[in-house]
Amino acid sequence: MSPWRFVVWFGTVSLLADVVYEGARSITGPLLAYLGASALVVGVVTGAGEAAALGLRLVSGPLADRTRRFWTLTIAGYALTVVSVPLLGVAGVLWAACVLVIAERVGKAVRSPAKDTLLSHATAATGRGRGFAVHEALDQVGAITGPLLVAGVLALTGNRYGPALGVLAVPGVAVLLLLFRLRARMPDPAAYEREAAAERPVPPDAADRGLPKSFWTYAAFTAATTTGFATFGLLSYHLVRQHLLSAAWVPVLYAAAMAVDAVAALATGWLYDRIGPRVLVALPVLTAAVAALGFHDTVPIAVAGSLVWGAAMGIQESTLRATVADLVPSGRRATAYGLFAGVVGVASLAGGALIGGLYGYSIPVLVTVVVAVQALAVVLLPAAGPRRGG
């Protein structure tokens, strides 16, 4: 299997998995409310799920590096997700649904460092930026398809959650079948990187180094730009609260933002392979623009802010991950991905609290603070340039 075929098929796995879990996440709140949850319970459960999805990677990343069982952890994580989602539709009681919501996120924590490491091996041959970008673009096709599929089944069944979530078992089974086939065809994707390294030799001590200083500087850059990044939840809250959009239009805007996400991932991935990490300067610029545009009080400007949010997400989900692979030697890469996710999780929590608090205080102050934080991120970026060649 060629490196590009591996990337595309692995991207197809992510596409199908996104149909499953993004479809479920699009109705998690209403489902929990239907089962009797209060707003507090919904907030705590979904927040705990996101914390698990990021925080547990601090364990799963080093575990993957120590055991070298990348395929096993990848398959186990996907299995937990694709089993949890259809069961949500038949849970029937609130506590069981809450457990399944968190279990789905735990599945993401289990698989992500191992999955990203497998992908990084193939992208050593395809180009880090382009490989991760194509993977992200395919991923976003699923992120758009899943919610629309669930919405269609809900409309056909009179808002019955069981069938809407049960239909997601079909792409879930396909995820597992495709993963087993990929493992059989390419049991050792590290071979891609070894072949690429033979053509582009790296310094002899590169494989023996731990996490380099540039990785930590890069993590600080990512933390700064993430701290100022508004969530789509807050952007959509502003749109509905200010009567700029009805709640029914919010999912449509989200789907449009996901389409922009895919385009931005492909564009910045292509540029990354040509000009290196300098392309990442776009991320703090876009993050500042989200705050300046997204909280405006006119419809076209506020909608534009949400689309810019999608572009920033495309860079976060593709080119940021590609850079980690160029910064860290193969033997420590899953650990690095786990630590990187932990940094992003803490910064996301801090940023959500900061921007949410400032939104209620003063939007001009919110924009000013975000711009200042993004200026700091731009200062940190030049010191975080990766060593090229994997």
Residue 131 neighbours by CB under 8 Å, 6+ apart: 3, 7, 119, 122, 123, 269, 322
Residue closest to 27 by CA, chosen among 145, 161, 143: 161
Higher-pLDDT residue of 19, 242: 19
16 or 193: which carries more pLDDT confidence? 16
How distant is the alpha carbon of residue 310 from its chain centre? Answer: 12
pLDDT at res. 144 = 85
Query: What pLDDT, on a 0 to 100 scale, did the predictor assign at position 213?
Result: 84
Q: Which tens digits make up the pLDDT trace of 178-193?
A: 999 999 999 999 888 8
Question: How many angstroms from the chain centroid is the CA of residue 315?
Answer: 10
With a CB cutoff of 8 Å and minimum separation 6, the contacts of 75 are: 111, 176, 179, 180, 183
Contact 144, 259 (CB under 8 A): yes
Distance of alpha carbon 335 from alpha carbon 64, whole angstroms = 8
DSSP state of 331: G
- Contact, 71 vs 187, CB < 8 A? yes
- pTM for the whole structure: 0.77
pLDDT value for 39? 60
Q: Cα–Cα distance between 378 and 278 in angstroms, integer?
A: 10
Ranking 2-11, 82-91, 186-195, 206-215 by mean pLDDT, the lowest is 206-215
State the DSSP string of 279-328: GGGHHHHHHHHHHHHHT-SSHHHHHHHHHHHHHHHHHHHTHHHHHHHHHS
Per-residue pLDDT, averaged over 226-254, amounts to 77
The pLDDT, as a whole number, for residue 114 is: 93
Residue in 321, 330, 335, 332 with CA at minimum distance from that of residue 59 = 335
Reported confidence tier of residue 363, pLDDT bands at 50, 70, 90:
confident
As a whole number, the mean pLDDT across the chain is 85
The predicted-structure confidence for 297-338, as pLDDT tens digits, reads as follows 999 999 999 999 999 988 988 888 888 888 888 788 888 888
Tens-digit pLDDT profile for residues 22-36: 888 777 777 887 888
